[in-house]
């Protein structure tokens, strides 16, 4: 990974290179890990920054049974690209084009009786029943129906089923702290989910799939696997568990740039906004044409999280919107030399996991934060 090598024909100033074979292999490995449960590969947020359509196709090649997105627009993008796998839109919003989604054979989620009725109305417009996953809030305190509202959701779904406007395909929920092994909320949420499933059964609702496990639970909470697990970060070789993903998952994305400018400067040279870094001797500065608009956090000042010429270097001074600076000392760098921001770690380069830990966030924020002007390239 060192030197000036770029995969494919990419000649831009920066490149997010995605190893599609890694996505396929990650999904295959996770599928084996959670068997006999099915696997939903979540490709929301532009495939966690990796590209939704290429990531979806790679995940399906790896054996994913379902795909998941958040917004209807994301689902319709996949359908327009010819992706015809079972597909769930995980968040239903009143203003979304639900009739278009139903017509495109996209499953939708409902976490309230009102949303069930909205989806039934959209089904009437689409001319076919809505395929719906009813969501229970088992303790995350986000989307879904709390236990007191769950009977009303089931009643609305039963009414829509009897009119032929709705099919209940799934019952689901989401964990708050599955990435904290042993957290008591995990068992508590499983207990609430079990009660929600029992209430649905009593109401005559038997779903095709029951699902509550995210990547962390798929890896660490086997009793949460049920009929299907939803793999988000895991598909891309990432996880929010302590220490990151297991070694058998491979990060699929490498973020690179080329030095746009190299210059010698004297001691006492202030670098970047606010002169928060000043050179202590004559040195070589290299300008990296990536900034916080491209996903390099402004808080990364001083961190040794960039890789060039076989070693790591600190970010010198404030990260700007479009660029940051590295103090290379007397290293013989040149304009056009490659700098790796993060990758799988094969050659000692930082990983997205390391960036997240250094900045008090998670690897998911690093990969989804890569801006649109950074070109994505793909390889198998």
**Residues designated as active site:** 44, 273
Nearest to 136 by CA among 196, 94, 55: 196
**What's the CA gap between 164 and 183, in Å, rounded?**
42
Strand, helix or coil for residue 180: coil
| Residues 6 or more apart in contact with residue 110 via CB below 8 angstroms | 92, 116, 118, 119, 132, 133, 134, 135, 153, 157
Nearest to 123 by CA among 98, 104, 157, 90: 98
- Asked if the bond preceding 139 is cis, omega within 30° of 0, the reply is no
- One-character DSSP codes across 7-74: STT--SSEEEEEEHHHHHHHHHHHHHHHTTSEEEEE-HHHHHTT-HHHHHHHHHHTT-SEEEESSHHH
Nearest to 286 by CA among 270, 262, 310, 304: 262
Cα 203 to Cα 168, 186, 246, distances in angstroms = 12, 26, 41
Query: Which token pair is 137?
Result: 């809030």
């Amino acid at each position: 990974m060192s030197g000036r090598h770029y995969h494919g024909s990419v000649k831009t100033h920066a490149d997010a290179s995605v190893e599609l074979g890694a996505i396929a292999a990650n999904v295959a490995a996770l599928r084996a890990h959670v068997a006999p449960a099915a696997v939903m590969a979540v490709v929301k947020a532009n495939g966690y920054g990796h590209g939704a359509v290429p990531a979806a196709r790679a995940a399906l090649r790896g054996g994913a049974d379902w795909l998941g997105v958040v917004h209807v627009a994301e689902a319709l993008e996949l359908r327009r690209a010819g992706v015809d796998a079972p597909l769930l839109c995980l968040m239903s919003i009143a203003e979304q084009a639900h009739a278009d989604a139903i017509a495109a054979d996209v499953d939708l989620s409902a976490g309230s009786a009102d949303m069930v009725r909205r989806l039934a109305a959209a089904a009437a417009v689409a001319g076919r029943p809505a395929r719906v996953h009813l969501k229970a809030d088992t303790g995350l305190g986000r989307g879904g129906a709390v236990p007191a509202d769950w009977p009303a959701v089931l009643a609305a779904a039963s009414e829509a089923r009897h009119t032929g406007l709705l099919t209940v395909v799934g019952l689901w929920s989401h964990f708050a702290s599955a990435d904290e092994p042993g957290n008591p909320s995990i068992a508590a949420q499983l207990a609430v989910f079990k009660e929600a499933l029992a209430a649905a059964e009593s109401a005559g609702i038997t779903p095709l799939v029951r699902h509550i496990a995210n990547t962390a639970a798929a890896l660490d909470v086997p009793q949460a696997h049920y009929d299907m697990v939803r793999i988000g970060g895991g598909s891309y070789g990432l996880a929010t568990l302590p220490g990151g993903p297991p070694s058998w998952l491979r990060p699929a994305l490498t973020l690179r740039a080329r030095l746009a400018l190299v210059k010698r400067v004297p001691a006492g040279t202030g670098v970047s906004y606010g002169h928060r870094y000043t050179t202590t001797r004559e040195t070589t500065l290299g300008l990296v044409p990536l900034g916080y608009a491209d996903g390099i956090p402004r808080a990364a000042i001083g961190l040794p999280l960039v890789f060039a010429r076989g070693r790591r270097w600190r970010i010198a001074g404030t990260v700007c919107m479009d660029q940051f600076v590295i103090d290379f000392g007397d290293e013989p760098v040149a304009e056009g030399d490659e700098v790796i921001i993060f990758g799988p770690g094969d050659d000692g380069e930082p990983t997205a996991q390391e960036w997240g830990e250094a900045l008090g966030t998670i690897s998911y924020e690093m990969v989804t934060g890569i801006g649109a002007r950074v070109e994505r390239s793909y390889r198998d």
